[in-house]
């Protein structure tokens, strides 16, 4: 049986070069990076070299890059610290954010009584920039944090973070973006200072699991959310994951070097898949935008109308060796429908399946997936 992996929005295969970097780190860097002896200094130097490589990719300074256990920790750190340390009095967000943002904001609202404004979204998940501008104008007398993801993890819709950043700068609001789905795949330049905080996770760009990035603009430095030692310049306590950091830096560097080639190739795969679905399965509808300008080129979410086979479709794909997803991996196993798709009006009784691509997929795999779909709906 042919195994086809089309769940790259949940996690990607780690690159050989990243594994090599990690293996080397595990062999060479036995010392604790906080130790002052030669073994500690050697490990610390390797971390700082990786930090500079990552900062250069973002056009940021090394002092603005912090290492976390992943996107969830980075998002929690930003949201809690903005309230407790930076004096944020109001949060502006959307109803389609990742669970690590949505659930954290729900908690903050419930326990700290911080008011939250949820922007309206259309059937694709787009926010209205005019509404955002009006909301920020009305909140100009309050310290406000805007938290909007770069690309939606279920639909792939891209928010215009440059324009959002400009509105936040104009009104004095802080801007946090969960860029977990886009870092390593799209160019992101943080040099203009319009983004206050950015979250990323290595396993979404062919790096290791359990390591991530938190960018904090130099004007918004925070005290540690996780307390303990003074690691990460006293912003994130805990002994550093040296091998994970080096593997992540290598994967991100590779992704940055191959950025356009990967984008062109994966866009071709996605467009080919769209064309086949339109031709062979015209009853299937597109939840994701077909345009690669509006949608992350790695993601395509499809809606299969209700039939006697739709409830078993994802399982049948798995039995055929095809790995896809019913939505966010962080909500897998949940009994309820996706709150993201419900907000977009897709709670119609059918089945949504997210296919997410990488440069490691090929045209023959796409042909086979469509053939299996034809035989199972």
Q: List the domains of the chain with CATH numbers.
A: 4-12+259-374 (3.90.1150.10), 16-257 (3.40.640.10)
Cα–Cα–Cα angle for 288, 289, 291, rounded to 5 degrees: 140
Instruction: Give the pair of three-digit tokens for residue 218.
Output: 């130099």
Residues 6+ apart with CB under 8 A from 315: none
Helix (H, G, I), strand (E, B) or coil at 113: coil
Kind and range of the H or E run holding 246:
helix 242-257
Pairing of strands 197-201, 212-216: antiparallel
Our answer to whether residue 168 is catalytic in this structure is no
d(CA 193, CA 217): 7
d(CA 374, CA 288): 20
Question: CA 62: distance to chain centroid?
Answer: 21
Q: pLDDT under 50 in the chain at which residues? A: 332-335
Residues 67-111: tens digit of each pLDDT: 999 999 999 999 999 999 999 999 999 999 999 999 999 999 999
Q: Which of 87, 135, 152 is nearest to 341 (CA)?
A: 152
In the prediction, which pLDDT does 326 show?
Answer: 87
b/e code 154-175 from CB counts within 10 Å (16+ = b): bbbbbbebeebbbbbbebebbb
Question: How far, CA to CA in Å, does 195 sit from each of 98, 177, 179, 202, 325?
Answer: 18, 7, 11, 20, 31
Residue pair 58/216 in contact (Cβ under 8 Å)? The answer is: no
d(CA 336, CA 324): 18
Residue 349: burial class (beta carbons within 10 Å; 0-12, 13-18, 19+): exposed
As a residue count, the chain comes to 377
In the prediction, which pLDDT does 333 show?
Answer: 45
Residues 6+ apart with CB under 8 A from 275: none
In the prediction, which pLDDT does 198 show?
Answer: 98
Residues 6+ apart with CB under 8 A from 81: 222, 223, 225
In the prediction, which pLDDT does 372 show?
Answer: 96
Instruction: Give the pair of three-digit tokens for residue 124.
Output: 């694709």
Active-site choice (129, 221, 284, 330): 330
Cα–Cα–Cα angle for 210, 202, 116, rounded to 5 degrees: 85
In the prediction, which pLDDT does 348 show?
Answer: 77
Instruction: Give the pair of three-digit tokens for residue 184.
Output: 């390593």
Residue pair 120/127 in contact (Cβ under 8 Å)? The answer is: yes
d(CA 373, CA 377): 6
Question: CA 293: distance to chain centroid?
Answer: 18
d(CA 58, CA 69): 19
- Rounded to a whole number, what is the largest CA-CA distance in the chain? 66
Residues 6+ apart with CB under 8 A from 162: 194
């Amino acid at each position: 049986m042919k195994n086809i992996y089309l769940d790259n929005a949940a996690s990607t295969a780690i690159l050989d070069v990243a594994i090599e970097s990690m293996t080397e780190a595990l062999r060479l860097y036995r010392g604790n990076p906080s130790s002052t002896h030669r073994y500690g200094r050697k490990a610390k130097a390797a971390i700082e070299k990786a930090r500079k490589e990552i900062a250069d990719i973002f056009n940021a300074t090394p002092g603005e890059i912090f290492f976390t256990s992943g996107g969830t920790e980075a998002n929690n750190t930003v949201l809690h610290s903005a309230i407790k340390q930076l004096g944020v009095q109001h949060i502006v967000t959307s109803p389609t954010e990742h669970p690590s943002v949505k659930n954290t904001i729900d908690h903050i609202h419930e326990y700290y009584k911080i008011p939250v404004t949820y922007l309206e979204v259309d059937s694709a998940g787009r926010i209205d920039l005019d509404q955002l501008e009006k909301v920020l104008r009305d909140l100009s007398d309050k310290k406000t944090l805007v938290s909007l993801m770069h690309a939606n993890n279920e639909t792939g819709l891209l928010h215009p973070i440059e324009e959002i950043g400009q509105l936040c700068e104009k009104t004095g609001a802080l801007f946090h973006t969960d860029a977990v789905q886009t870092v390593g795949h799209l160019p992101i330049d943080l040099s203009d200072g319009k983004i206050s905080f950015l979250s990323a996770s290595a396993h979404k760009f062919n790096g290791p699991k359990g390591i991530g990035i938190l960018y904090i603009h130099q004007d918004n430095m925070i005290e540690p959310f996780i307390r303990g030692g003074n690691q990460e310049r006293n912003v994130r306590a805990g002994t550093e994951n040296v091998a994970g950091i080096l593997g992540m830096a290598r994967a991100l560097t590779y992704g940055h070097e191959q950025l356009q080639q990967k984008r062109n190739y994966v866009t071709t795969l996605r467009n080919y898949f769209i064309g086949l679905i339109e031709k062979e399965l015209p009853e299937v509808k597109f939840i994701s935008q077909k345009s690669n300008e509006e949608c992350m080129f790695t993601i395509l979410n499809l809606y299969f109308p209700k039939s006697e086979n739709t409830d078993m479709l994802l399982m049948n794909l798995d039995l055929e060796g095809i790995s896809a997803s019913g939505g966010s991996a962080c909500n897998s196993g949940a009994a309820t429908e996706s709150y993201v798709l419900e907000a977009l009006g897709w709670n119609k009784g059918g089945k949504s399946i997210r296919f997410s691509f990488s440069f490691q997929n090929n045209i023959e795999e796409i042909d086979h997936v469509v053939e299996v779909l034809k035989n199972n709906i």
